[in-house]
Amino acid sequence: MRDIATPTKTKEILMKHNLQMKKSLGQNFLVDTNITDKIIRSSDINNNTGVIEIGPGIGSLTQQLAKYAKTVMAYEIDQRLLPVLEDTLQDYSNVHILNQDILKADVSADIKLYLNDVEEVIVVANLPYYITTPIIMNLLEADLPVQRYVVMMQKEVGERLVADPGSKSYGSLSIAVQYYTDVSQVMIVPKNVFMPPPNVDSIVVKLEKKSDLPDVGPIKQCFKLVRGAFNQRRKTILNNYQSVFVDGKSHKESIKEWLLEADIDPKIRGEVLTLEQYSKLNKLLNNYPELVIK
């Protein structure tokens, strides 16, 4: 079959199957083979790679993944697309389409079932924009045997993943993703390479899983402290943390002392702190039993 990721072929497939895109599922199909080629190259796929794709749509990217990978396991929530994918990917016996919601699927079990004979597992996907963050965090927190992620998403969200401390885009998502992975930008993708065009440009980012995770103390507690520091970005970290702890206002002086012990100025804002600084705060919290996170 000809490349799916072109305007002509995509229109042909949509007409053949009388298919209307669902806005509610964030369906925007890629129609530029230059973009799919760059994604494939940046993914370092070879014939011993197992690929997890999320939201294959009509198979634009899936087709290219299948050419280079040993096996592709793709999650598609929209049942209407199953016969379309069966048609468009009929030449590729190494593709398994799972009609499941990625947020509810047992991905670990599926990897054991479908990707048990590959040398490495990676995720390559044009993620549905409306659930990008939960998908990424669910996969990272599940501790799956995934070596790297090459994923396309809304530009604004991707910029948050790669953001440095002190920048406008830096936030709790930046810190969480950078705890698990080394993040880099691959390319900006203009909205006019999709059918229909979304309202915003996209970005492809690469997440390389860290071989050893940083020691930040109790991880859930650490991320609660991170999120709490960003409750209201205009507020100082001292003010934000008063709403994080039980009776925080009455423990203002203890919070101040805790921050100072970690060499953190109580007057600064949470967005200038690094993961290492939040880690230090987390480990020192045991010294202040009166500070109980809500």
30 appears as a binding residue in the annotation: yes
28 appears as a binding residue in the annotation: yes
Return the amino acid letter for 211: S
89 appears as a binding residue in the annotation: no
Compute the distance between CA of residue 4 and CA of residue 9 in angstroms, rounded to an integer. 5
158 appears as a binding residue in the annotation: no
Strand partners, 53: 74
Question: Which string of b and e fits 98-122 if b means at least 16 CB within 10 Å?
Answer: beeebeeeebeebbeebbeebebbb
Residues in the chain: 294
Return the amino acid letter for 222: C
Give the closest residue to 88 by CA, choosing from 114, 61, 68: 61
Tally of helices (H runs) and strands (E runs) in the chain: 12, 9
Residue positions forming the annotated binding site: 28, 30, 55, 76, 101, 126
Residue positions forming the annotated binding site for S-adenosyl-L-methionine: 28, 30, 55, 76, 101, 126
